């Protein structure tokens, strides 16, 4: 990529077909329905996407090309080269969500960064070179500014926006942590380091690292990152290199159903204050347990409890060693029963954990929300040290397929004070 252009829009996908979401067999495939036909599609976003993928949601498909298109991004070129071996001729381009469109091509955030954003957040940027290698590390861009200073830039697509808060990542990302540490080290060698989070929808008031899904990355952003304050929105005040600090930026795109994206805000405030909470490993959690068939189980002082087939959600807290507590609950064997849930887990099928970092104990609040969602309380379960009726609730269907349940989870993760 040579000198920058001032194109006001970039294309993040083409709308070649639309259909209704059915299921996601794995993180690389999504099955949609178009009329009476079920269509297998490649999923270009490795995130969990739990806020989008509900049966009946409308999705936009792009036809996979077999040959590289020089006008498309490197990410699409890689797909194109593999096109002849692809299991499907379609890729998910975007999803309709809350009266808008969310583009799901994570790799194409680079295209938007180059065409719409970087010249605004790095004053005087005159050159931009993609996929630049320094030693054994490769970064999304090398930029050169008007004073010939080198800027190394990593771009991350951020699709998780709830309650006016944007968060990244929505799944653990060791790659993101590695890039951050490498950038911090290279700033001591004279480079200016940048991480740009391209938020692809919504109206976020702030960006924060997602300490619930990746506390290591969140702690790293607080340790190595600094959020430039805007002298004005098109000319942020940057921090000089040499001190091991990386500039953390967030910008906002809005995209239409044809895949054309424009810049909605070059500057979204970044809040890096919660790294200490990520490192403290404390907070609350929800444990989801599937009981495949009716079971009668001796549960400590509660005696014999009969569990109907279906799903159960348990809420708890740990003011230290949260990850250890959650991992213990996930184990079905090799543990002496201590909590009520320890008696139940050996009799379950699928068990999932949903951590919620927080500064205070909110398990009783979560129990109240589970009741409001229609969860049937199992009397006395897990609540011997509080006044709640229960901390275990029965749901007939999978909670993660219940939009209201997911919204409660994301609300707590966005507001974890």
| Structural tokens at position 270 | 């970044």
**pTM for this predicted structure:** 0.90
Q: What angle do CA 85, 87, 91 make, to 5 degrees?
A: 105
Q: What tokens does 196 get?
A: 């740009």
Q: What angle do CA 324, 330, 333 make, to 5 degrees?
A: 105
- Asked if 281 and 320 touch (Cβ cutoff 8 Å), the reply is yes
Per-residue pLDDT of the chain (417 residues; tens, 9 = 90+): 445 444 579 999 999 999 999 999 999 999 999 999 999 999 999 899 999 999 999 999 999 975 444 334 444 444 334 333 557 899 999 999 999 999 999 999 999 999 999 999 998 999 999 999 998 889 999 999 999 999 999 999 999 999 999 999 999 999 899 999 999 999 999 999 999 999 999 999 999 999 999 999 999 999 999 988 765 555 566 767 667 899 999 999 999 999 999 999 999 999 999 999 999 999 999 999 999 999 999 999 999 999 999 999 999 999 999 999 999 999 887 678 889 999 999 999 999 999 999 999 999 999 999 999 999 999 999 999 899 999 999 999 999 999 999 999 999 999 987
CATH architecture of 106-278: 3-Layer(aba) Sandwich (3.40)
Looking at the domain covering 10-98, what would its CATH class be? mainly beta
What CA–CA distance (Å, rounded) separates 242 from 263?
31
Residue 177: name the closest of 109, 119, 223, 228 by CA.
Answer: 223
Q: Nearest Cα to 73, choosing from 41, 44, 102?
A: 44
Distance CA 343, CA 201 (A): 43
Calculated CA dihedral for residues 379, 404, 17, 23, nearest 10 degrees: -10
Q: Where are the domains of the chain?
A: 10-98, 106-278, 281-414
User: Among the residues of 250-402, which ranges form H helices?
Assistant: 275-280, 322-330, 340-344, 363-372
pLDDT at 209: 96
336-352 in b/e burial notation, b at 16+ Cβ within 10 A? Answer: eeebbbbbbbeebeebe
Q: Are 263 and 116 in contact (CB under 8 A)?
A: yes
Nearest to 153 by CA among 34, 100, 125, 30: 125
The helix or strand, by DSSP H or E, that contains position 74, with its residue range, turns out to be: helix 74-81
**H or E element that contains 184:** helix 174-187
Q: Judging by beta carbons within 10 Å of its beta carbon (0-12, 13-18, 19+), is residue 365 exposed, middle or buried?
A: middle
How far is it, in rounded angstroms, from Cα 316 to Cα 2? 54
Q: What b/e string do you get for 51-77 counting C-beta neighbours within 10 Å, with b at 16 or more? A: bbbeeeeebbbbebbeeeeeeebebbb
Q: How distant, in Å, are the alpha carbons of 24, 27, 342 from that of 63?
A: 19, 19, 48
Bond from prior residue into 169 cis (ω within 30 degrees of 0): yes
| Residues linked to residue 17 through DSSP beta bridges, in sequence order | 61
- What lies within 8 Å, CB to CB, of 26 at 6+ separation is none
pLDDT value at position 76?
Answer: 40
- What are the angstrom distances between the C-alpha of 32 and each of 19, 53, 400, 408, 413? 6, 11, 18, 26, 29
């Amino acid at each position: 990529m040579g000198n920058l252009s001032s194109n006001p829009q970039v294309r993040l996908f083409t709308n070649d077909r639309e259909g209704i979401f059915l299921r996601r067999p794995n993180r690389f495939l999504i099955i949609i329905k178009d009329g009476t036909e079920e269509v297998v599609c490649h999923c270009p976003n490795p995130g969990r996407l739990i806020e989008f993928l509900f049966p009946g949601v409308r999705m936009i498909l792009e036809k996979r090309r077999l040959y590289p298109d020089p006008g498309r991004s490197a990410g699409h070129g890689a797909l194109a080269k593999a096109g002849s071996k692809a299991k499907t001729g379609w890729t998910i381009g975007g999803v309709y969500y809350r009266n808008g469109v969310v583009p799901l091509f994570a790799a194409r955030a680079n295209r938007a960064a180059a065409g719409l954003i970087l010249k605004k957040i790095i004053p005087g940027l005159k050159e931009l070179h993609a996929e630049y290698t320094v030693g054994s590390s490769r970064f999304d861009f090398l930029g050169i500014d008007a004073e010939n200073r080198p800027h190394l830039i990593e771009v991350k697509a951020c699709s998780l926006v709830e309650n006016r808060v944007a968060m990244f990542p929505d799944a653990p990302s060791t790659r993101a942590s590695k890039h951050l540490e490498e950038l911090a080290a290279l700033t001591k060698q004279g480079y200016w380091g940048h991480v740009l989070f391209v938020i692809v929808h919504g109206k976020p008031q702030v960006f924060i690292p997602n300490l619930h899904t990746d506390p290591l990355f969140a702690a790293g952003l607080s340790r190595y990152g600094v959020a430039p304050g805007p002298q004005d929105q098109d000319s942020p005040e940057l921090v000089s290199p040499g001190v091991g600090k990386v500039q953390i930026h967030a910008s906002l795109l809005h995209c239409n159903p044809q895949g054309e994206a424009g810049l909605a805000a070059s500057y979204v405030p970044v809040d890096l204050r919660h790294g200490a909470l990520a490192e403290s490993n404390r907070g609350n959690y929800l444990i989801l347990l599937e009981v495949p068939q009716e079971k009668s189980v001796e549960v400590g002082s509660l005696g014999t409890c009969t569990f109907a087939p279906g799903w159960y959600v348990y809420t708890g807290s740990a003011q230290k060693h949260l990850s250890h507590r959650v991992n213990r609950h996930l184990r079905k064997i090799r543990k002496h029963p201590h909590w009520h849930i320890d008696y139940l887990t050996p009799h379950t099928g699928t068990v999932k954990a949903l951590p919620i970092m927080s500064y205070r104990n909110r398990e009783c609040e979560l129990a109240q929300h589970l009741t409001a969602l229609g969860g049937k309380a199992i009397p006395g379960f897990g609540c011997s040290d509080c006044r709640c009726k229960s901390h275990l609730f029965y749901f007939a269907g999978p909670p993660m397929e219940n939009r209201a349940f997911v919204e409660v989870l994301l609300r707590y993760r966005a507001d974890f004070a």
